[in-house]
Amino acid sequence: MPVILNTYEVEERDRAEFVHEALGATMVPIELHWPGHRGSVAAHGVATDLGDLTVCSGRTTALARDSMEPSIFINVQFSGSSMVVQHGREAVLRPGELVMYESTSHC
């Protein structure tokens, strides 16, 4: 059954903790960094299990990192832009672009 994540239904002061707990329960425990002030916390998405594969589609204002068992993330940018930095390489994504990276590797 899909899990729907929507911060618009959560009090602004509780959004960061809500997203952290929801992602930890559906995917992996993850370290989130929210740029700006607490009012800038926003996330909306859906996580669905397909056998051993978890597909998560969403939008968030967070910067993320985890220290769990390695996972491969594939990020498709639907709107706006985002950046992934890993192993001395940097990818700036714009709408329609895709990047693949290992979740446990650091910059």
Write out the H or E segment, with its range, that includes residue 26: helix 15-26
Which tokens belong to 75? 């990020």
- C-alpha to C-alpha distance for 52 and 69, rounded to whole angstroms: 14
Q: Taking the domains of the chain in order of start, what are their residue ranges?
A: 1-62, 69-107
Which tens digits make up the pLDDT trace of 66-101? 555 666 777 788 888 888 877 788 888 888 888 887
φ/ψ of 97, rounded to 5, equals: -95, 160
Determine if the pTM surpasses 0.95. no
Percent of the chain with pLDDT over 90: 0
- Residue recorded with tokens 């994540």: 5
Q: In this structure, how many other beta carbons lie within 10 angstroms of the beta carbon of residue 58?
A: 15
